[in-house]
Amino acid sequence: MSTFPISRAAAVFVGLACAASLAASLPANGAPPHRVAADVTSARPVGGCRVFPTNNYWHADISQLPRHRRSDAWLRHMSPRSRLHPDFGRAYGDQPVPYGIPITVVGGGHRKVNVRFHYAHESDRVRYPLGSDTRIEGGRRSDGDRHAIIVDKANCKLYETWNTHKRNGHWTAGSGAVWSLASNKLRHDGWTSADAAGLPILPGLLRWSEVKRGKIDHAIRFTTDVTDNRYVWPARHRAGAVNNRKYPPMGARFRLKASFDMSSYGKRARVVLRAMQTYGLVLADNGSPWYFQGEATGRWPSSLISDLKRVPARAFVAVDTSPLMVVPDSARVATH
């Protein structure tokens, strides 16, 4: 149940650019601007940190955006008879840890280490807070994508790596990325990340705490098997197997139709489905068609997973997100 930051049909570069620094100013109450007070937002923070500003692309309401002119063509080339597949949940002994991408939260004093990157020319070559406490996708012996997502809760800084290993006492990874969670700054144009689209993974993960609370305020990361060798804002990188605009590019965003009948779905499934209508799905990597990602935790109810597997791909449309863009190098969205 893993996805791939490089195309299954052709190898592509993997890596990331340097992240923006934290905002220096403080709000009137004197709290750091990247920390979330309980009454500031209904979103669920990670380690006390807001997962990017509220005017960030991942938090944009797309329910009223126009349908993309290539929506029908893209959907025809994305296994339209498929159903959604939650790429997370209990493993039931199939692997030592739950399915999904785990999140590790560390303090500001956590020891940082050097990492040797396979795609060093596009990686953020700084020291990373990796250690024995780092949770790796699929477990330490996994042969999958082995993503690691780490949030420094003191500085609200996000670290992400792909193909993460510790060998002979040294850490290695395919690529590495660092973001300020207080910034809307994007990667260098043309650079990738731990995801093929060059986007951060964390803001697109479905988290149990937000589903349980009944409030999801962001788009959800998903994959398909064949993509066009192009990308659309705010994606920064392509990883396509074809040069054909009938296939979706990295960064394409899809919305569950407002007319979709969710009356037969459970209460928690409806929370997810409403988020898919409001914020949608973002195509961020190559992998199995219509697999969408969540955090790795054993708390996901089996009934919720079963419910979400019933949603047909044909219930989605692609949307034109170009009206959201303010400037090409920022994930800040226009407000109307």
| pLDDT above 50 for 3 | no
Mean pLDDT of 102-117: 97
CB 294, CB 86: distance < 8 Å: yes
Mean pLDDT of 104-112: 97
| pLDDT above 80 for 30 | no
Mean pLDDT of 243-264: 98
CB 198, CB 16: distance < 8 Å: yes
Return the pLDDT at 43.
62
How would residue 336 be classed by pLDDT, with cut points 50, 70 and 90?
A: low
Mean pLDDT of 301-321: 98
Mean pLDDT of 194-200: 94
Higher pLDDT, 6 or 186: 186
Return the pLDDT at 296.
98
Q: What's the length of the chain?
A: 336
Least confident of 5-19, 81-95, 147-161: 5-19
- Any bridge partners for residue 164, and if so which? none
Ranges of each domain in the chain: 57-324
| pLDDT above 50 for 159 | yes
| pLDDT above 50 for 100 | yes
CA distances from 75 to 81, 105, 137, 265 (A): 10, 37, 29, 24
Higher pLDDT, 142 or 39: 142
Report the amino acid identity of residue 189: D
Return the pLDDT at 248.
98
Return the pLDDT at 192.
83
- pTM here? 0.87
Q: Mind listing the pLDDT tens digit for each residue in 292-307? A: 999 999 999 999 999 9
| pLDDT above 50 for 7 | no
**Structure tokens given for 118:** 């396979």
Longest Cα–Cα distance of the chain, Å, equals 55
Return the pLDDT at 44.
76
CA distances from 38 to 42, 43, 141 (A): 8, 9, 38
**Structure tokens given for 140:** 């330490």
| pLDDT above 60 for 203 | yes
| pLDDT above 70 for 41 | no
Residue located via tokens 């996708």? 137
Least confident of 66-70, 118-122, 153-157, 196-200: 118-122
| pLDDT above 50 for 220 | yes
Q: Mind listing the pLDDT tens digit for each residue in 74-83? A: 999 999 999 9
CA distances from 83 to 53, 80, 254, 323 (A): 32, 8, 14, 29
Higher pLDDT, 6 or 314: 314
| pLDDT above 60 for 170 | yes
**Structure tokens given for 308:** 């979400």
| pLDDT above 50 for 213 | yes
CB 280, CB 62: distance < 8 Å: yes
As a dihedral over the C-alpha atoms of residue 67, residue 73, residue 76, residue 77, rounded to 10 degrees, the angle is -120
Return the pLDDT at 2.
39
